Chain A
Amino acid sequence: MNVYLDNNATTPLHPEVKEAIISFLDYYGNPSSMHETGRMVKEKIEESKDIISQFLGAKKEDLIFTSCGSESNNTVLKSLLFSKNKNNQLITSKIEHPSVIETARFLKNNSIPVSFLNVDSNGLILFDELEEELSSKTGIVSIMYANNEIGTIQPIDKIASIIKEKAPEAIFHTDLVQAIGKVNINLSSLPIDAASISAHKLYAPKGLGLLYIKDFNKMKKNFTPLIHGGHQEQGFRAGTENTLGIVALAAACKALTREMDEEIKRIKQIRDYFEFRISNEIDNIIINGKNSPRLCGTSNVTFKFVEGESILLRLDLNGFSVSTGSACSTGSLEPSHVLMALYNDPELAHGSIRFSFGRENTRDDVDKLVAVLKKEIGYLRSISPLKNK
């Protein structure tokens, strides 16, 4: 038995996605080829893009296929390196995904001015800092819609209006990787200029991302392609399309269009039930980001007096897949930058576990999980020198 509770890391394929992949396996043509084998695939890709753009509420020409969310983030941010204007400052936050933080550091090392905004203990960016940093020199503001570790949702409308007031020329980019499929989003009415999306967080396979640029034809001059070559994606992103991935994502979008509203409610109920149970049955815990608007399926919990890797591995041996913000789980031996930005207390980061629920999870999973958690947390605390001190 395995209960998968790591849906923010990646998701299992939706059954309809599996079907779509299998039925497309023999369509090997290159959509750029003029012959029938190619044209057949081209048609399928266009059809898929229609479905995807409809689901996202975007104009078709505003969507660029990439290889992943990280590539989309890199493309947007690295455009600053080629900006002919003086306004090349990047403003981002301390809780972004590594593909934004590390790209920002790279830019900083290459003479681009970068500001990392702090967040409060609820995981929301500090608006007065944003106002202070914004100026005519600001080129891009990149703030994630929802955080991958704690699930907190930033008030995008408010951020957009601050940017509009203080730096109307600046591009507002948001990392939507965690939000799509978990929040009802219509890209056309979202007050942003660019966004990054990943297919494998919404029950489609790995290896496909999207870059959204609003009013692409007018706005593309502000961005620089990362990969040059063929004419694919309106000449903005070269490389033969991930045709199988695109067809699979369309199937996922079709399913989500039908199921999403109900699923958001159902998954939130499961998450809230989980948090209700552990709050009542396990002492000395903190539910991180609890006081902010959050994604329906994310629950990030710090268990005091114990260390995250130990909890993760003991849960794993009991058949539960989760993740941790503990330093021990990474190669760098540094605790979660997100929880450090919230609390600046390594102990709270070391003992954190992220449970992220998805469409395959049930209330029954929570019952089994809570029983195992009580046992394992209890045991690890019994061998910890910190408890009952």
Chain B
Amino acid sequence: MSNNPGWVYTEKVKQHFLNPQNVLNVSEEEYKPDGVGIVGSTACGDMMVIFIKVKDDRIYDLKWKTYGCASAIASTSVLSVIVTKNGGMKLEDAYKIKPEDIVKELDELPSNKIHCSVLGDKALRAAIDDYFKKQNMENPYSKDFASPIVCECNNVTEEDIKLEVLDGAINLETLQQRTKLGTTCGKCIDNAKDIMKKYIDEFYSSPTFKGK
């Protein structure tokens, strides 16, 4: 019998979980970030805060704090490394980082962990949004990522809801079966219902969609 049955996640995840990089180890006031982004909630079991410092459109430093499982901690850590290497990523490129990019850096993650624990890209976008807001500037990149998250636990966006409604999901139950929206902490359900109603009204009351 093997005395070393392998670990739950990849070696890369293990390294970042055991030795997380770029954790904020001073207070926020002391660190003086240019932008802060928060995503997730304690109800779903994962929550993270990303702090960035920006100079000449580059993120020259990034610090973070995460409450969550091993893959949540490792994915935030690896993201911080991606963003800060070689003098820091351009804001434009950083805004385009996708969960897949983070998963690739970790070699692999179980599929059921990607939705809930890879939140770093969203926190980073929130931090960049916050940076532009503090500068009183319009975020020139946000158009590419217009769809806001509705269900943070299961990472369902308004765009997802719109597409599901178009695809015939006209009650909450069907939407939940397809997307898992609101099945973890449930705090998004009221908001999701409103959004659903908006698209149902928009699509199903128009002559084109009537009768579907």
Q: Which residues of A does B touch, CB under 8 Å?
A: 305-307, 309-310, 313-314, 317, 326-328, 331, 333-335, 346-347, 350, 382-386
Contact = CB atoms under 8 A, between A and B. Distances in A.
A333 B69 contact: no
30 contacts: A307-B45, A307-B69, A307-B72, A309-B70, A310-B69, A310-B73, A313-B17, A313-B70, A328-B71, A328-B117, A331-B112, A334-B184, A335-B45, A346-B42, A346-B43, A346-B44, A346-B184, A346-B185, A347-B42, A383-B20, A383-B66, A383-B73, A384-B65, A384-B66, A385-B47, A385-B48, A385-B49, A385-B65, A386-B42, A386-B47
B8 A346 contact: no
A350 B70 contact: no
A307 B68 contact: yes
B185 A385 contact: no
Nearest to B43: A346
Given A310-B73, A382-B25, A384-B67, A350 B42 contact: yes
Interface in B30-88: 38, 42-49, 65-73
Contact of B23 (A313, A335, A383): A383
Contacts of A310: 17, 68-70, 73
Contact of A386 (B23, B67, B113, B184): B67
B146 interface: no
B18 interface: yes
A307 B67 contact: yes
Nearest to B153: A333
B67 A385 contact: yes
B116 interface: yes
Nearest to A335: B45
Contacts of B23: 382-383
A328 B42 contact: no
A120 to B, nearest CB: 22
A350 B45 CA distance: 6
Given A305-B67, A307-B69, 15 more contacts: A307-B45, A310-B68, A326-B69, A327-B184, A328-B45, A328-B71, A328-B113, A334-B184, A350-B45, A383-B65, A383-B66, A383-B73, A385-B48, A386-B42, A386-B67
Contacts of B72: 307
Nearest to A317: B18
Contacts of B20: 383
Contacts of A314: 18
